[in-house]
Structure 1
Amino acid sequence: MSKEAENLLGETVDLLPKECLPGAKKMAEFIKECFVDRGMPNETEGYQLQPGFEPETAKYAYDKLQLGKGDIIVSTYPKTGTTWMLAIVNHILHGNNPEKMQKYQKLRQFIGYLEFNHVSKYVDVWEKLSFPQQVFGTHLPAPLINLKRYRENGVKVIYVIRNPKDQLVSWRNFVMKFPYAKYDFWKSCFPENETEFYDKYLEGKQYAFAKEGEGYLEILREWYAHKGDNILFVVFEKLKKNPNEEIKKIAEFIGKPLSNEELQNVVDKTSFNSMKKEYGKLYSEKFGITMFRKGEIGEWKNHLTVAQSELIDRKVEQVLGETDIKFIYE
């Protein structure tokens, strides 16, 4: 196993039974190829995916992954609060048992996205492990997830919404640090110039988990069509401004109501500063990326041009005008 793959696997090795190790090593090498080497985008049913997010893995999850009552899916568009929400759910479920919480957190970080990593992860690793509750993250569009079956089986789905202007700024700061962004193919998708980068994104030409020419707003519209189908929509900005109120809703939704003391503990442990400390170094060392930067509301004002901001406003009206979604921009 290469040094890069060994680093990616890290402490996860100590948490896995021996029969899972060959599969885990294969997964680590696969991620190394996707992120460190010249990773290329994928496409499935017209939706374009970043390296490491695999159509075959997504299909396995759709057709064969067994999820049932009490299991949870956290769905997001990139840079709308994925890691934050997964951590909140983890603290709600296991906050009274720090050892167990750390174990599940580390395992999920490595293999816990529906569509991420080689498809063999399910048979070779995941299905050999035992979880009291399965928790998956995903960036997949709604049509690529078997929501009908999951709803019938009692799976809880949480979808996080963030204003598209801050999401865009956060996306740039995130992907420009990917190791593969230095290669010629990606340089044309991710221009170094900030204004050009935003223009390219708004044209829908960055393989950003949507169809060509589309992006976050279209994906959000697809998900919002399922409002009420055992899906809780959480607004990033409300969670930032009123964490106690929003985390209480999340806990009740997943069937784990918290006492006032437990609630405050989750709020404290998942504050932005706490998360930056806990996850910042981890993701930087493993993947060379910055998972938590500022998380501020209104940061877009320091980056987007007036024309870009107005273009997003028009797109919001065009794509989401018939919904009741109202973004919070400051």
Structure 2
Amino acid sequence: MDSDDYLLHFKGYNFERSLVRSDLLENLEDFEIRDDDVFIITYPKSGTIWTQQILSLIYFEEHRKQTQKMDTIERAPFLEYNIRTTNYINRPSPRLFSSHLPYYLVPNGLKNKKAKIVYVYRNPKDVMTSFFHFSNLVVKFESADNMQSYMNTFLDGKVVGSIWFDHVKGWYDNRQKFNILFMSYEEMKKDLKSAVQKICKFLGKELSEDDLDAVVKQATFKNMKSDPRANYNDVLKYELGTRNDNGHFLRKGTIGDWKNHFTVEQSERFDKIFQKKMKDVNLKFIWDINEE
């Protein structure tokens, strides 16, 4: 499969062709935003499902107490990939949305600064490693023979989400136009409770200590992997299709797995590009589980 077979190029950005409707893309900027909408925005493989689960647990008591069975993808559906054909207009407030959109393609209504955006970013070496495994798992994506060839594909932006650097830098450079909180995947991983408290404060949500503990407990990677609502098993099975039955949407969820896949030369090459492209971006990046 060639990348052009599964990528749809629209206004300088790559979408997964079979999961998106071009008429929806054409009208995205006019999508009506409510003041209490909350968007989870990420580059792919940066903690999207995890953040969907965290916000679903914060916002919906029935999700937290497990009194209503609903997948997180339905609680915080993708704006541009409406694979469950949810009627967004009829959804009760507050609405949660997920998105991989770059800053310039989101609905104009997000610029009035009332609706909130939680932007989760992750160190790009781990993003690339996760994407490499995911591409070899999912039928709809072009598989990669080895890390060297995949690194070229990733750095050239010939993937869903286009160039990682452009996505993160674009959102960071234009942050003043939005009501946005930047969270790193790694800070969430290292201290989930503090991360949940920070997100709650930004969202103006006050949780009791018991509810906070319930959110943190259910949002650990281990518990999510065994929670059918949150691990996307049905999405993999019915909507994406896998090359083998043993694969999981949620794989390792660690920090620094790139070290098991990059050669020294590949790592140094990546570092040079990162330093050049991200020198003006004042976000903290963590590359190793032991980093402070």
Identify the TM-score tier after normalising by the shorter chain. 0.7 to 0.9
Q: How far apart are the structure 2 equivalents of 1:197 and 1:277?
A: 30
- Given the alignment, which residue of 167, 171, 174 partners 1:223? 171
Task: Report how many aligned residue pairs link the two structures.
Answer: 273
- Given the alignment, which residue of 62, 77, 80 partners 2:29? 62
1:195 and 2:148 correspond: yes
| Greater C-alpha Rg | 1
Alignment match, 1:327:
285
Structure whose residues are more often helix by fraction: 1
Alignment match, 1:232:
181
Tell me if the contact between 2:118 and 2:183 (Cα under 8 Å) persists in the aligned partners: yes
Q: CA deviation at 1:59?
A: 3.2
Residue 217 to residue 165, structure 1, CA distance change in 2 (3 Å): same
Q: How far apart are the structure 2 equivalents of 1:161 and 1:208?
A: 16
User: Percent of aligned pairs with the same residue?
Assistant: 28
Unaligned runs of 5+ in 2: 243-247
Q: How far apart are the structure 1 equivalents of 2:269 and 2:286?
A: 17
1:168 and 2:121 correspond: no
Cα deviation digits, residues 261-315 of structure 1 (max 9, x gap): 2111100001001111113433443333531000110100000121221122112
TM-score, length-normalised on structure 2?
A: 0.85
Q: How far apart are the structure 2 equivalents of 1:316 and 1:95?
A: 41
Unaligned runs of 5+ in 1: 1-37
Q: CA deviation at 1:203?
A: 3.0
Q: How far apart are the structure 2 equivalents of 1:85 and 1:101?
A: 19
Q: CA deviation at 1:106?
A: 5.2
TM-score, length-normalised on structure 1?
A: 0.76
Q: How far apart are the structure 1 equivalents of 2:183 and 2:68?
A: 23
Alignment match, 1:7:
none
The one-letter code of the counterpart of 1:171 is: F
Q: CA deviation at 1:257?
A: 1.8
Q: CA deviation at 1:207?
A: 3.1
The one-letter code of the counterpart of 1:227 is: R
- Superposition misfits of 4+ residues, deviation over 6 angstroms: none
The one-letter code of the counterpart of 2:167 is: I
The one-letter code of the counterpart of 2:169 is: R
* Pairs within 5 Å for 1:1-330: 40-51=6-17, 52-63=19-30, 65-95=31-61, 98=65, 102-103=69-70, 105=72, 107-108=74-75, 112-117=77-82, 121=85, 125-127=87-89, 129-146=90-107, 149-152=109-112, 154-181=114-141, 186=142, 190-204=143-157, 206-210=158-162, 215-228=163-176, 229-278=178-227, 279-280=230-231, 281-286=233-238, 287-289=240-242, 290-330=248-288
Q: CA deviation at 1:96?
A: 5.1
Residue 308 to residue 203, structure 1, CA distance change in 2 (3 Å): farther
Tell me if the contact between 2:39 and 2:97 (Cα under 8 Å) persists in the aligned partners: yes
Tell me if the contact between 1:71 and 1:133 (Cα under 8 Å) persists in the aligned partners: yes
Tell me if the contact between 2:56 and 2:75 (Cα under 8 Å) persists in the aligned partners: no
